[in-house]
Structure 1
Amino acid sequence: MELITFGESMVLFNPGSKGPLRYVNNFYKTIAGAESNVAIGLARLGHEVGWFSKLGDDEFGRYIKATIRGEGVDVSRVRTDPQNNTGLIFKERFAHVNPNVYYYRKNSAAANITPEDLDEEYIKTAKILHLTGITPALSQSARETVFRAIQIAKDNGVLVSFDPNIRLKLWSVNEARPVLLKIAESADVIFPGIDEGKILLGMEKPEEIAKAFIDMGCKIIAIKLGKEGCYVANKDQGEYVAGYPVDEVEDTVGAGDGYAAGFLSGILRNLSLSECAQYANGVGAMATLVSGDMEGLPTYLQLLEFIGKTEHIDR
């Protein structure tokens, strides 16, 4: 297994029309979840990936599992929780702005994940363990599970990848900061945005944010700068890598997960830091072209064509 990740995935209901949800009568159903987005993104790019979580013993849980499995991701370690439901999320859309999101995930099956749900032998098979800051925000047991997974990875030479992914609808800044910084200290690769640099470190300049994380022990820092691209660094170098222009953005949700998937694909392919960043910027940009969290994530050939590494043949 090249990469393993875990965390909550929910059934996403996208409105069929814009405006307040009280006036929306039709929705279309898909899935949402930062970790499963990364897993699906990497699977489409040609990698062997596993994702696990806890899902309710309900039709929504079965739908999530079948959808992720259908994308070529291994879901053999997913647990079913007969006592708690699968989480839900609704989007609310207005013209020319990012959608509002409403979570229905309190006491969900995924929030009740525990360290006992981890398969240590499974995690050992991975080259990379990818985590986000969403999972430790769900519950104390989920937080303990994250730290136990990190320990397993560290004990077995598995690279730890971490996207802080701060969700202030789930916890406060004061609660999040010490937990996320503790995870960051164990991360080999980290994907902060500028806003997360401000929250976690009180810093806004990419170079300062990167240096702070390097001083903590992180080996690679990839700072997301939106349409401008990213700033990437390790202890020996740092550089800005330009993004790819998108004329009409449909939905920015999932772009950060796509960025992480692209960068991690570069790492797994032993590419240079700047090439990893090009992959990341490309996947992140392509994710914004389509409505939905993971629907716009490209195949490897589509990515290469988008970033100009190979020629597109139309007919």
Structure 2
Amino acid sequence: MTDVLTLGEAMASIRTRAPMRLGGTAQLSVAGSESNVAIGLARLGHHVSWVGVVGDDQPGSLILRTLRAEGVDTRFVRSAPGAFTGFVAFDQPAHDITRVSYHRAGSAGSALTAQECVAAVAAAAPRLLHLTGITPALSGTARAAALAAARAAHAAGVRVTLDVNYRNRLWSRADAAAALRELATSVHTVFASEDELDLLSAAPDPVADLLARGAAEVVVTAGADGARCHTPERSLHRAAVPVPVVDSIGAGDAFVSGYLSAALDGLDPEGRLDRAVTAGAFCVGAHGDWEALPSRTGLALLARGNGTALR
């Protein structure tokens, strides 16, 4: 049985530790919010399937090879002949600033269809369907795919989770609000930062409105200030785990993977937040979107303190 099904676009990623215009050594990997979450969940021992489209090219092969190596089920991935796999570039214009540029317009990932996503929901019969607000921003077909998958999962009694993940380079706030509010009617768990909540509701208190309209929990992330989980019964806060921050890219996806893992394990909201902030701390302690994500046995390592030598 599939624990989690997720869908979206994965890209090849290129990283440099200096301004990219200067050239020099670069690191090649893969990136993508949903594939990051899939890797995080697989490392924590869950069976997770990713639905996506890659180009019939070398970057597409890299994505498939990486996901398979990390234990992610790729049976629902389609290679599109003639289409290109998108890529994202990360460089550092200053020592503590990461700049991101995307090269994905018209990519294979934007050709995801409602038919293949609904078929994957039916075939996988997952316990959870995880979506982000990035996918519906990619194209009209990708927006229809995310909505159709959410409705199909909700109708089948599958819990749907949504990480807003707003990207202003992909669409306007008005367009995002129109799509995400439609999507939110099928969502069980919402992840959003404070400045993303108005994309889901125009009410003066978006959290209360989302809970009143059927969401079971709204998780509001605040970076170094931790996160809050709101349910109809109560609200909880967890501080971020204090660790030196090397790279914040991917921290939100790490948080989500930890939270969903704990939910699948039947932990209460306190346990979910604890595992989420721990997974996020692992991610920010190293470069890369997903490379530092913990295994289940590694979750307790941060409690040993900085500088510990494991012998």
TM-score (norm 1): 0.92
Distance 1:42 1:128 in 2: 12
* Contact 1:124–1:153, Cα closer than 8 Å, also in 2: no
Distance 2:30 2:122 in 1: 24
Distance 2:29 2:203 in 1: 36
1:55-76 per-residue CA deviation (whole Å, 9 max, x = no partner) reads 0000110110110110001001
* Contact 2:12–2:30, Cα closer than 8 Å, also in 1: yes
Compared CA separation, residues 220 and 307, structure 1 to 2 (3 A): farther
SS at match of 2:162: strand
Other-structure match for 2:151 = 151
Q: CA RMSD, aligned part only?
A: 1.8
Distance 2:199 2:153 in 1: 27
Deviation at residue 18 of structure 1 after TM alignment? 1.2
Other-structure match for 2:218 = 221
Compared CA separation, residues 141 and 121, structure 1 to 2 (3 A): closer
Instruction: Confirm whether residue 211 of structure 1 aligns to residue 212 of structure 2.
Output: no
Other-structure match for 1:3 = 4
Distance 1:266 1:144 in 2: 30
* Contact 1:42–1:262, Cα closer than 8 Å, also in 2: yes
Question: What is the percentage of aligned positions where both structures have the same residue?
Answer: 34
List alignment gaps of at least 5 residues for structure 1.
none
* Contact 2:8–2:52, Cα closer than 8 Å, also in 1: yes
Compared CA separation, residues 96 and 313, structure 1 to 2 (3 A): closer
Other-structure match for 1:131 = 131
SS at match of 1:222: strand
1:89-117 per-residue CA deviation (whole Å, 9 max, x = no partner) reads 11121334331111110110010111122
Other-structure match for 2:45 = 46
SS at match of 2:218: strand
SS at match of 2:40: helix
Instruction: Confirm whether residue 76 of structure 1 aligns to residue 105 of structure 2.
Output: no
1:234-245 to structure 2, matched below 5 A, reads 234-245=231-242
Q: How many residues align?
A: 306
Other-structure match for 1:95 = 94
Other-structure match for 2:276 = 280
1:115-130 to structure 2, matched below 5 A, reads 115-118=114-117, 119-120=119-120, 122=122, 124-130=124-130
Compared CA separation, residues 112 and 234, structure 1 to 2 (3 A): same
SS at match of 2:137: helix
Distance 1:288 1:198 in 2: 27
List alignment gaps of at least 5 residues for structure 2.
none
Compared CA separation, residues 129 and 199, structure 1 to 2 (3 A): closer
* Contact 2:197–2:206, Cα closer than 8 Å, also in 1: yes
Instruction: Confirm whether residue 253 of structure 1 aligns to residue 240 of structure 2.
Output: no
* Contact 2:18–2:91, Cα closer than 8 Å, also in 1: yes
Distance 1:120 1:59 in 2: 25
Distance 2:178 2:196 in 1: 13
Other-structure match for 1:305 = 301
Instruction: Confirm whether residue 290 of structure 1 aligns to residue 279 of structure 2.
Output: no
Distance 1:203 1:252 in 2: 31
Other-structure match for 2:185 = 185
1:23-42 to structure 2, matched below 5 A, reads 23-42=22-41
Q: Which letter maps to 1:241? A: R
Instruction: Confirm whether residue 107 of structure 1 aligns to residue 106 of structure 2.
Output: yes
Distance 1:90 1:28 in 2: 10
Of residues 211-220 and 226-235 in structure 1, the stretch that sits farther from structure 2 once superposed is 211-220
SS at match of 1:176: helix
* Contact 2:211–2:217, Cα closer than 8 Å, also in 1: yes
Other-structure match for 2:162 = 162
Of residues 30-39 and 297-306 in structure 1, the stretch that sits farther from structure 2 once superposed is 297-306
Of residues 236-245 and 209-218 in structure 1, the stretch that sits farther from structure 2 once superposed is 209-218
